[in-house]
Structure formats: structure tokens, C-alpha cells
Amino acid sequence: MAQCIPSPAGVNPPWDFDVLVVGGGAAGLYSALAIPPQWRVGLITKDNLTLSASDWAQGGIAAALGPDDSAHLHVADTLRAGAGLCEREAVEHLVTHAATCIHRLVDLGVAFDRSGADLAMTLEAAHSRKRVLHAADTTGRAIVSILAEAVLQRPNITVYESAFALDLWLQEGQCRGIALVQGHRLRWISAQATVLATGGGGQVYAQTTNPTASTGDGVAMVWRAGGQLRDLEFFQFHPTSLSLPGAPPFLISEAVRGEGAHLVDKSGRRFAYDYHPDGELAPRDVVSRAIFHHLQKTGDRQVWLDMRPIPADRLNYRFPNIIRVCRTWGCDPLTEPVSVAPAAHYWMGGIPTDLHSQTQIPGLYAVGENASTGVHGANRLASNSLLECLVYGAELAHLPLQAGLVKPEVPTPLPPQPPPSDTGEDDRLAELNQKRQQLTQLMWDYAAISRNQAGLDTAITTLDAWRQDAEQDDLSQALQALPPDLHQELPADLTLPRLRAWGELRNLSDVGWLVLNSARFRTESRGGHYRSDHPKTDPAWQAHTLVQGHQWQRSASLSGQLSSEDSPT
């Protein structure tokens, strides 16, 4: 197992904060705002308050608000997409609290699109009704920007920007906080409750729609601390990311297909119907595999998304950012199809939590993509992820906190560290970046859309060797040699850019190893996990995959099975 940084022992309250929130996306921001203002909150983000996967979310947020819709139908659609691994109680909790959270966003000032006086709603894949609210095609940005403004106006919240969380601080089995690097100082910051809202781990794959900061930090920290994780083999690959020469993978929202765009091959044929009766509007994992298998079958290298069936004025109104990005890379969706390919998009697995966002580690909570609430099962229903951030973040309003346990003085955030002057720093960062690229390509080659035993074994053997080497590198040894003090200046060569690059690579290495072994453990195909050597869904595997340390096991039976009465028709 990868090493944790030695933490101080025997340190008792008073605490630095009542609540420590790690992550500045929708989950972290909404969680911080949900905590009553009498409690002191520390909010930690690697970059700034708006640079997160939530900020990149285009499609929208799902809520059963329409006159022809109901919570029952939303539950049924979610269970069906989850391929038998959703927890019904968690899904019902999500859906029944959706309206309250949407109204809270509106009250805060989120400018959702309107249809007259009503909130506008659109259809996305695997939804039986139009229930996806949106703000053009930048819904995540609209939500996160408003939440960030609200956080900065709250005097009880202290924000630590450009800070990197290295490890959890555990003492006698309870989470006391985290090890934080900011400026040129390593700090152990304590809190009565610690909330992980660090987002997903899509950067473990060479092709991903996630921002560079999505390195699975929360999941990796919990694993290194000995905590339990769940369903890590289930990664969702979005079928339509921009695939043009020189362009980075850029998500083209599922809402585009919901509005009428067609997925076509080089002959212009809508091939997705060969693989599922719902064609382009089948669940994401089905559409991604349809593209993968169609390219294998035809020998072609790309497919296209034709947006021209959508009226031009509607296309301009609903998807201005997508049109702008496509045109930046030399393709105009109004006049020609756009080349697309699947890319890693969302991680269904994570840290198991209950209905109140509590993990199995006392004092530790998890919200958002790094959590495994039981809502998404084996395959997330489109636009449920932003909703999950809000509904389960709202649960933190009820944390069991005690008054009077916080130090009089809040730890002062340090200013951003200036760029390193050491010319050798560039070489060290380049070496870490090269190792990161090798890891992500290994994962894309052997553990992406289609997996098999031989490929997984090859990747695990390779990664095992890399991980052994990493534990002996100079930076790992230097951190292990640090005295476990609460606050300490770092050695001169341990700059924040280097520590962050090293820390993210360490987290990605842990995440990759966990995904590979979880995928090898589950010998069936289900939802976002497809094994070409086990292509069928096996009823015996309708169970969660649990991992703790180096031990894997199946969980007990689930409560979220889809019954005949759950039909959305």
C-alpha cells in the first residue's frame, strides 16, 4: 500500500475548525453553505473556487418538476440506468429532495433557462421525461459561480486556495483533519468533521473530459488511511467528446442528442440503432460501447455527431459554448458533422456513505463524485450528478458538532507561492509529468471501454513495478523523513508545484491500481464495466464490490432492484 505522511499523535482539542471541507466544486461549495453559520468552516481547493469538474458540466441538473413527471418516474429511470446496483433508499432520497435544492439555487440567483415564466427542461438519454434544467450549455459554471460568490460572503468560512491535501489525519480510528501543503509549509489542520468533496478521478485515463485537477485525491487518501471503498471498476465513458487534430477532449453534452442530434458513421448512417433500440439516446455506457464496437467492426477511426437536425436558432440558443469551441478548432456544427469519440467522464465508485453523507470512518464525510452514495449504481443517469452534490451536501446542515471546541484564532491562509527560481525544477516536473502520461496511457489501453483478463493482468504487473519504484523516490523518502509536527517549513527543494505534481501522481497511481484490480475482480459486464471475456451480466454479481487495503469482496444483496411496477411508461 502507498505510504501516508506521518501524522502528529497525542494532539487534542481545541480544534482549528468545526468543519473542514476539501474541494471547491459544487459539492464542496454547497456543503460549506449548508453548514449553519455558527460553525467555523475551512474550505480547501487546489486551484480556485471555480476550477472544478462541476464548472465544466454542460448538460444540466435533473429534477422531476414537470406536470407530466413524478418522483416515481425519476426513481425508475435512475434504477434502470444503474443496472441493478443502485440503492433504492439513496435514489429516493435524491429525487424527493430535488425540488428543495433547485429552489435554493434559484433563490441564490442561478439563472436557469426559462420557458415563459417556468423553468425550461430538456430531455437527456435514459430519461423518460423532460426533466433536465439548464443554463444554456454551461449549467455547471452558472451554479458554481453563484455558489462561490455566496461562500466568499460568509464570514464563518475561511478559504484556502492553491492548497493541496496530502493525507487524512487519523487518531484512534477517528478523522481529525488533513495534512495540507500551502505556500512552503506543511500543516496538519484539525476539525470536528472533515468533508471530502474532491471530485472524480477521470485524469487516470489518457482521454478524459475531466479537468487536470480530477486526480481521485479523496478516494486515494481514504484508501491509504485504511478506509473502505466501493464499486471502483465502474467508470462512465462519455460517448461524444470532441475528436479533432490538436484539440483536447471536450465534452459535447448529451443534451445535444436529446435535442435531436444524430450519431452517424462515415456513410451518414445512424449506426447506434444497430446496438440498442433507443439509438443515440440509450444509456451512456451503451452508446460508448456502440461506438467502440462499430469502429472495430468497420475499421474506421472516428464517428460524427450531426447537429444539423436541430433548428439553427435552437442550436445557437441552447449550445453557444459548444458551437464556439468547435469553431475554434475549425468545425462549424451548423454546417457539418463534428468528429467525436468516447472519453472517461464520471466515476460511479468511491467512498461509501450513508444518507447523511457519513463514511465508515468517524468524523469523515464525503459528498459529490468521490462519494459512493448508492445513487448511480453501475451507470449514472445523465444530470443526476450535480443534483447529488446538492442533496447530499445539504445533509451537512445536521452535523453532530459541539460548541466551544475551536481555537480562538483561525489558521491564516498563506499567499500563493511564487514560481520556483531553481532551473532544475522544470526537469523534475517534466519527469513527473512523463510518468503521469505513461500511467494514463496504460489505463486507457487496458482498462477503458473494453477490458479483459490478459490486459488487466499486464497492466497490474506493470503498475506494481512502477509503484514500488515510486515508494523509493527521493521525494517520497524526504516526506517520510519529516518530523510529524503540526506546522513546519518544508525543505527548499520541496516546492508546492513539485509536491502537487508528485501528490497527484501518487493519487492517480493508487486510483489506477484500485480500478484495475476491481475490474479484474468483477468477472461480468454491467453498466460502465465491460469485460470482453465476460460479456454477459451475471445475476450472481448483482452486488457491490468492496475494497479495503488489499482485500476485495462482494457485498450483501441490494435494495435497489428494478421491479415491474417501476416502468416509466
Domains of the chain, residue spans: 17-235+345-398, 236-344, 425-557
Task: Tell me which residue of 541, 525, 511 sits closest to 200, measured CA to CA.
Answer: 511
Fold assignment, 425-557: Methane Monooxygenase Hydroxylase; Chain G, domain 1 (1.20.58)
Annotated active-site residue 380? The verdict is no
Higher-confidence residue: 38 or 145? 38
Terminal Cα distance for the chain, rounded: 49
The overall longest dimension of the chain from CA atoms, in Å, is 70
Mean per-residue pLDDT over the chain, rounded: 91
Q: Is 379 helix (H, G, I), strand (E, B) or coil?
A: coil
Residue 384 has pLDDT above 60, yes or no: yes
Tens-digit pLDDT profile for residues 498-550: 999 999 999 999 999 999 999 999 999 999 999 999 999 999 999 999 999 99
Least confident piece of the model among 72-76, 221-225, 287-291 = 287-291
Asked if 527 and 457 count as a contact pair (C-beta separation under 8 A), the reply is: no
CA-to-CA distance for 456 and 454, rounded, in angstroms? Answer: 6
Task: Tell me which residue of 502, 497, 501, 496 sits closest to 473, measured CA to CA.
Answer: 502
Note the Cα 450 to chain centre separation in Å.
21
Q: Is 74 helix (H, G, I), strand (E, B) or coil?
A: helix
Confidence class of residue 424 from pLDDT cuts 50, 70 and 90? confident
pLDDT at res. 140: 77
CA-to-CA distance for 354 and 375, rounded, in angstroms? Answer: 11
Beta-carbon contacts of 242 under 8 Å, excluding residues fewer than 6 positions away, are 248, 249, 250, 251, 252, 325, 326, 329, 338, 339, 340
pLDDT at res. 425: 77
pTM of the model: 0.93
DSSP H or E segment with residue 471: helix 453-471
Within 13 Å and on the Cβ side, how many CA atoms surround 421?
Answer: 1
Separation in Å, CA 376 to CA 207, 373, 547: 22, 8, 18
CA-to-CA distance for 178 and 196, rounded, in angstroms? Answer: 10
Tens-digit pLDDT profile for residues 6-15: 899 888 879 9
Beta strands 41-44 and 157-160, pairing class? parallel
Tens-digit pLDDT profile for residues 110-167: 999 999 999 999 888 789 999 999 887 778 788 888 999 999 999 999 999 999 999 9
pLDDT at res. 558: 66
pLDDT at res. 87: 96
pLDDT at res. 494: 85
Asked if 196 and 183 count as a contact pair (C-beta separation under 8 A), the reply is: no
Residue 404 has pLDDT above 90, yes or no: yes
Confidence class of residue 416 from pLDDT cuts 50, 70 and 90? low
Length of the chain: 569
Least confident piece of the model among 79-88, 245-254, 300-309 = 245-254
Output the CA torsion sign for 444, 447, 450, 452. positive
Task: Tell me which residue of 386, 397, 390, 392 sits closest to 371, measured CA to CA.
Answer: 392
Q: What percent of the chain has pLDDT over 90?
A: 73
- What is the average pLDDT across 441-460? 97
Q: Which parts of 312-391 are beta strand (E)?
A: 338-347, 351-352, 364-366, 371-372
Fold assignment, 236-344: Flavocytochrome C3; Chain A, domain 1 (3.90.700)
Q: Report the helix count and the strand count for the chain, using DSSP H and E.
A: 16, 22
Asked if 128 and 382 count as a contact pair (C-beta separation under 8 A), the reply is: no
pLDDT at res. 10: 84
Q: What percent of the chain has pLDDT over 70?
A: 94
Q: Any idea what DSSP says for residue 183?
A: T
Task: Tell me which residue of 228, 215, 533 sits closest to 347, measured CA to CA.
Answer: 215
Least confident piece of the model among 185-189, 285-289, 385-389 = 285-289
CA-to-CA distance for 184 and 188, rounded, in angstroms? Answer: 14
- What is the average pLDDT across 197-202? 97
Q: Residues 129, 131, 284, 428: which is the catalytic one?
A: 284
How many Å is the Cα radius of gyration of the chain?
23
Fold assignment, 17-235+345-398: FAD/NAD(P)-binding domain (3.50.50)
pLDDT at res. 246: 87
CA-to-CA distance for 106 and 263, rounded, in angstroms? Answer: 34
Residue 143 corresponds to which cell in the numbers above? 451554479
- What is the average pLDDT across 69-81? 95
Separation in Å, CA 140 to CA 59, 135, 145, 403: 8, 8, 8, 35
pLDDT at res. 50: 56
For 295, phi then psi, to 5°, come to: -65, -40
Residue 1 has pLDDT above 80, yes or no: no
Beta-carbon contacts of 296 under 8 Å, excluding residues fewer than 6 positions away, are none
Residue 561 has pLDDT above 70, yes or no: no
Confidence class of residue 557 from pLDDT cuts 50, 70 and 90? low
- What is the average pLDDT across 432-458? 97
CA-to-CA distance for 564 and 534, rounded, in angstroms? Answer: 27
Asked if 497 and 422 count as a contact pair (C-beta separation under 8 A), the reply is: no
Tens-digit pLDDT profile for residues 207-257: 999 989 999 999 999 999 999 999 999 999 999 999 988 888 888 988 899
Q: What is the dihedral of CA 42, 46, 49, 51, to 10 degrees?
A: -160
Confidence class of residue 565 from pLDDT cuts 50, 70 and 90? very low
Asked if 178 and 22 count as a contact pair (C-beta separation under 8 A), the reply is: yes
Higher-confidence residue: 60 or 38? 38
- What is the average pLDDT across 160-179? 95
Higher-confidence residue: 448 or 299? 448
Residue 567 has pLDDT above 70, yes or no: no
CA-to-CA distance for 5 and 156, rounded, in angstroms? Answer: 29
Give the type of residue at 191: A
